């Protein structure tokens, strides 16, 4: 394999990016960076600080925030200086606010710097919305992972119910569609397939099949010895 490989996995909410990205990273022995969790962390701190109406304050939170990941088996634990936020960043309120804070130019600029630094530290699998288009436009492997809207909502529903939360499938589908629309239509770094990304529709693929496809793409690219740097 090349010395340093970046595997970028972008796509809409609920397409299975984080589940798949985590497994691809484990198979390849790469670090896994969940860029969505970083926007969620900014949103959570802004909510806790009562700063949601103040764009400058949110941008300052993004510049100052120190986010770290500690993978433990199936769980990718997320920390800020105040402590662990793994569960706190998965509420519906944080999902909606993460989409909002991610549209602020200062927040995106701050996250870009942090995400590039994380990706420079070694080979990574990074998932999000703009990894292949903006963060690492020269990533050797780019995947745009999709699934149809109802299937994505159904997966999120199963996840929430398994975690002991209550949910309504149609309501979830509406929330996710609204978030994808906002993420796709924002001015800076919108959710968009990179021209050179491989699109994988996972609606009728198992997690294992999707992981196998991406690992094969990474192994094929790794042999060319291209570097992302």
Contact residues: ligand DC, CB under 6 A = 13, 35-37, 39-40, 98-99, 102, 128-131, 179, 183
Q: In this structure, are residues 224 and 205 in contact, taking their beta carbons and an 8 Å threshold?
A: no
CB of 148 to ligand DC, least distance (A): 17
If one counts every other C-beta atom within 10 angstroms of the C-beta of residue 165, the result is 12
Nearer to ligand DC, 59 or 183 (CB): 183
CB of 57 to ligand DC, least distance (A): 19
CB of 223 to ligand DC, least distance (A): 28
If one counts every other C-beta atom within 10 angstroms of the C-beta of residue 159, the result is 14
Going by their DSSP bridges, the two strands 31-34 and 6-10 should be labelled as unpaired
Nearer to ligand DC, 22 or 222 (CB): 22
Nearest one of 118, 152, 160, 149 to 6, comparing CA atoms: 118
CB of 27 to ligand DC, least distance (A): 21
Nearer to ligand DC, 138 or 220 (CB): 138
Nearer to ligand DC, 126 or 217 (CB): 126
CB of 139 to ligand DC, least distance (A): 13
Nearer to ligand DC, 107 or 222 (CB): 107
Q: What are phi and psi of 8, to 5 degrees?
A: -100, 125
Q: What is the dihedral of CA 77, 80, 84, 86, to 10 degrees?
A: -50
d(CA 187, CA 183): 9
């Amino acid at each position: 394999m090349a010395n340093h490989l970046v595997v970028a996995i972008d796509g809409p909410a609920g397409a299975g990016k984080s589940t798949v990205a985590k497994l691809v990273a484990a198979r390849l022995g790469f670090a896994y960076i969940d860029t969505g969790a970083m926007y969620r962390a900014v949103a959570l701190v802004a909510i806790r600080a009562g700063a949601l109406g103040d764009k400058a304050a949110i941008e300052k939170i993004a510049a100052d925030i120190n986010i770290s990941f500690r993978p433990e088996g199936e769980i990718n634990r997320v920390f800020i200086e105040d402590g662990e936020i793994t569960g706190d960043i998965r509420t519906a309120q944080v999902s909606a606010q993460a989409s909002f804070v991610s549209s602020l130019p200062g927040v995106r600029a701050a996250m870009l710097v942090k995400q590039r630094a994380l990706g420079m530290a070694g080979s990574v699998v990074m998932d999000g919305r703009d990894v292949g288009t903006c963060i690492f436009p020269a990533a050797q492997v780019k995947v745009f992972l999709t699934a149809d809207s109802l299937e994505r909502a159904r997966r999120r529903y199963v996840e929430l119910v398994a975690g002991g939360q209550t949910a309504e499938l149609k309501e979830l589908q509406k929330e996710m569609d609204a978030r994808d629309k906002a993420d796709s239509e924002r001015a800076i770094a919108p959710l968009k397939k990179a021209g050179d990304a491989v699109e994988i529709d996972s609606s009728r693929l198992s997690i294992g099949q999707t992981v196998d496809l991406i690992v094969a793409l990474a192994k094929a690219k790794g042999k060319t010895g291209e570097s992302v740097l």
